[in-house]
Structure 1
């Protein structure tokens, strides 16, 4: 008998048509069910009904949700709240898509994760900490003790997602509902977390409902697949059948949109010219963190000796795992964070113009620079005010810079929202009325309203399903080519990078370990970490699972790498050019 059985579930809001219409699925113990579909297709609402964690305005229009526990059948939709509180977080856990909303900003990560054990189990504080630290290590925290003491805002998006995964899995639940659990993770950590979920399934017989838009993840994890679109099930069946021979046109469309790393090397583009719009020279950035109590503060180097040059009209991608220093480099490039003494960032607003030192500008020059250089943030919910309508969020940058009158700003907002694939009818809404993928599109539209020359994209497509991701990448490419826009593109998705980038820099532990055009890098990777990134990229092919052993070799600590690349602490070897345009950090 299935541990969770959903039959003919229909959910609506107010008097509007049902947004989930007659959806049925079930999952057995030890199995993984994948709910696949575009953003806004009803995937998250359907699985939230399994825990009765629906928005207050949602109405159940029909159907049943039954959960099996200790030989007893529980009707989730009618069960007493007290009974559900005992099950949630203990026997039924959920990994949420946006960890910053799910984690309290006022409490340390260790306290939040251990709270699950204290609420549901009779356990001492010492034993709870021991189990939480062990879970932190399993989900990829290099320093579990530091993670225990840290607040969510001190962590990157990927690290917060790891903490959410640890919180959901620390009690070894019977049912794990994972809503885009690896969206914010780099591919190596994603591979390790997927392996962890599989190991727990073998040990405990845990059932998993996986909500995702990544068909590569589905191919590596799922036993059964349910494909949804506009609140309805389009196709369902065994993963081997659905992935091997999709029957429905919508499923075929999802496969066609999935990005993949090219297998054959293409022609290497000519080296960039002298028209460099952004020049990052010798940038190192260190942060001092309080250690607590009487202990001395701890200095953490986020990035070290970074040299990057972005030609005008081109895309420079920086890839690497969460916490590798990618976002810190992006913030330094935009002047939001000061580099340590000795480093500098130069920006040339036009060909042949004198360079502007980003960290030494007058107020007038800075205002102009802020109009010409914009950023698309990783977490769209944090970058959009929940109290501001979408129309006001899109027109606000133009008001700040005094561009156009009120009508012209509204027309521009309508043009931008249409450009990213949404309707101008959505402008009066608030951000909470949109799905995660739709909010990311709004964030991109907001960054483009000022017609910038440089766009820093921090994981701009990580929250998007494959078909929307394909549209957004096409949109970014079209805008870049039409307007001569330049991109500093931060990502952990190598398939996305292989499509859009002209140059790729791979970061690990705060340093660039390899740099080359994508045609060279993906065809002839030299560094063990680059090879691990490529091996960890999930493919939508059930016969080609991720090689976790190869991933572990390259994603390990730098002192465990082959002798040619090995280093400890700050003694990294130099970045050497092995062939024209191909640099690798290695010993001579």
Structure 2
């Protein structure tokens, strides 16, 4: 049987430098899923981009062939004209990119951008395209497809934008889908549903899938064939089952050892003590008003947060988990004073156990300046959080300059010391951000947040864009910094395995509400709420014998009015957060 896509002896280089992809070969058959696995910089993405001829200008395909086969014959994608290539891109071969904000036009509505595929390749009318796109939006998990269709990219969360990218790639039903980290920005329930959707489309259309990922749990649930890459070379390849059960190459074994997972042992969870709370959120709600794109329709109220009550003890980690749009980041922004809560909500910050709390949203100018030194944020995207026009030294010393701390030489010395603390070299200060890998940029973001010696750091999905080995390093770094400096973390994540490792308390949010809260040892082994159960069931594990239970995921991640009577909530009827056992709260009807 002839493979749908055949890559042979592919080598790619930049300028006069050494090749970054060296002699890579693999095949993918129609209807088959091939996983390309490896850490950042291993050559996975550039090998896939070569198939669509969307490499950077300085890149050269130095050797090899990339052949697309079907019933009409074979075509070498490296040698056909650009006009022929345009007929293939987005039509016969589609690609889901890792960074949706860079891949979507900021000037056009999401619906129009996805419909463009059908206009160009299928000749569909505007009405036909709109109908198909809305159906696709519903299938990829948009809670309100019509709203998403009429929104601009900046009006959607990162997870929502990634769903739009997935819909755009799949709406034309391509023969081959190349998915470059398609679920990194998605919460685990949406990830499970999207993976299930891709499998369903494969069964319906015979579509082949090349899955570029660092998540071995996703590989175990999706792939028939696996190719492990490292430094541009193939380290190990073959059927998924033997590689996942008994990897032969030391690098593959290293990847498995670094993969986070929810531990099997059950322990007794210890709730946070009320003695020394650095941060308290009391009855915090946030409502946005959204204008309709149609003049005859009224404004809509979007409840991002509703009645959130959270406490973070000094030197501890409070994790907030939930799907995109659940209100996690909004709650974090309110905690930092970047957003105002609705009237009646209050955020208190204590510099020390002996001092009176400061009300974050009613501070004087002097109090706000002091607060900004004590509370910092590490953002989800290490590529966007550093200015590409500033050297690392300037980016690191900027906070000290703003707060008039130290002389220029003292600022440089502190920047060098902070780089060493996060595992980088001081001689990197003169470089620009583009010279660093994703994991190094995230270390730089952490180092920059540490420059003002904060007490509280809000980590907004700090590891979601990182491969497993780098993720392990960042988590270890955060733990070491917390132990040595008594830092407090408000940790936003959708990865329960990461949360199980780092958190002292976990709050699960859905539709702006905290639906369950407990220490991780309690929450993961005695979940009560259907949404929490869905989150745990959706967590992919690197074990082919433990596939994701999509029925359980769909039950909890579905509409809240479909939950059991004890947990059901609507816009008008919201159950209370009830303490079921010491430190374990569940939103339910008593």
TM-score, normalised via structure 2 length: 0.97
Greater Cα offset, 14-23 or 308-317: 14-23
2-structure distance, mates of 1:426, 1:80: 42
Q: Contact (CA 8 Å) 1:4, 1:50: kept in 2 or not?
A: no
1-structure distance, mates of 2:123, 2:576: 53
Deviation at 1:267, TM superposition (A): 2.8
Deviation at 1:39, TM superposition (A): 1.3
1-structure distance, mates of 2:40, 2:415: 22
Greater Cα offset, 256-265 or 315-324: 256-265
Q: What is the CA deviation profile of residues 440-471 of structure 1, one whole-angstrom value per residue up to 9, with x for unaligned ones?
A: 33322322222211000111000111111111
436 and 100 in structure 1: CA distance in 2 versus 1, 3 angstrom threshold: farther
SS of 1:383's equivalent in the other structure is coil
Name the structure 2 match of 1:370. 372
SS of 1:47's equivalent in the other structure is helix
Q: Contact (CA 8 Å) 1:104, 1:152: kept in 2 or not?
A: yes
Counterpart selection for 1:323 from 311, 325, 335? 325
Deviation at 1:410, TM superposition (A): 3.2
Deviation at 1:21, TM superposition (A): 1.7
Count of residue pairs the alignment pairs up: 588
Greater Cα offset, 156-165 or 411-420: 411-420
Q: Contact (CA 8 Å) 1:319, 1:507: kept in 2 or not?
A: yes
Greater Cα offset, 51-60 or 424-433: 424-433
Name the structure 2 match of 1:572. 574
2-structure distance, mates of 1:61, 1:405: 51
428 and 27 in structure 1: CA distance in 2 versus 1, 3 angstrom threshold: farther
Q: What is the CA deviation profile of residues 518-570 of structure 1, one whole-angstrom value per residue up to 9, with x for unaligned ones?
A: 00001100001000100000000011100000100111111100111012114
1-structure distance, mates of 2:561, 2:361: 35
Greater Cα offset, 357-366 or 410-419: 410-419
SS of 1:118's equivalent in the other structure is helix
Q: Does 1:350 align with 2:352?
A: yes
Deviation at 1:293, TM superposition (A): 2.5
Deviation at 1:262, TM superposition (A): 1.7
Counterpart selection for 2:340 from 338, 341, 359? 338
449 and 141 in structure 1: CA distance in 2 versus 1, 3 angstrom threshold: same
155 and 399 in structure 1: CA distance in 2 versus 1, 3 angstrom threshold: same
Counterpart selection for 1:448 from 447, 450, 453? 450
Q: Contact (CA 8 Å) 2:270, 2:583: kept in 1 or not?
A: no
Greater Cα offset, 485-494 or 266-275: 266-275
Name the structure 2 match of 1:103. 104
Name the structure 1 match of 2:266. 265
Deviation at 1:438, TM superposition (A): 3.8
Q: What is the CA deviation profile of residues 202-231 of structure 1, one whole-angstrom value per residue up to 9, with x for unaligned ones?
A: 111111111111000000001111111111
Q: Contact (CA 8 Å) 2:271, 2:583: kept in 1 or not?
A: no
99 and 156 in structure 1: CA distance in 2 versus 1, 3 angstrom threshold: same
Q: Contact (CA 8 Å) 1:282, 1:342: kept in 2 or not?
A: yes
1-structure distance, mates of 2:77, 2:238: 25
Name the structure 2 match of 1:561. 563
SS of 1:381's equivalent in the other structure is coil
TM-score, normalised via structure 1 length: 0.97
Deviation at 1:104, TM superposition (A): 1.1
1-structure distance, mates of 2:300, 2:372: 33
Q: What is the CA deviation profile of residues 347-375 of structure 1, one whole-angstrom value per residue up to 9, with x for unaligned ones?
A: 11122111111111122221121121111
Counting only pairs closer than 5 Å after superposition, residues 228-307 of structure 1 correspond to structure 2 as 228-269=229-270, 271-294=272-295, 295-307=297-309
Name the structure 2 match of 1:163. 164
Deviation at 1:62, TM superposition (A): 2.1
Greater Cα offset, 396-405 or 320-329: 396-405
Question: For the aligned residues, what is the CA RMSD?
Answer: 1.5
Q: Does 1:54 align with 2:55?
A: yes
SS of 1:89's equivalent in the other structure is coil
260 and 89 in structure 1: CA distance in 2 versus 1, 3 angstrom threshold: same
Counterpart selection for 1:470 from 469, 472, 479? 472
573 and 334 in structure 1: CA distance in 2 versus 1, 3 angstrom threshold: same
Counterpart selection for 2:411 from 401, 409, 412? 409
Q: Contact (CA 8 Å) 2:334, 2:340: kept in 1 or not?
A: yes
424 and 4 in structure 1: CA distance in 2 versus 1, 3 angstrom threshold: farther
2-structure distance, mates of 1:570, 1:57: 58
2-structure distance, mates of 1:227, 1:420: 28
Runs of at least 4 residues of structure 1 off by over 6 A?
Answer: none
SS of 1:554's equivalent in the other structure is helix
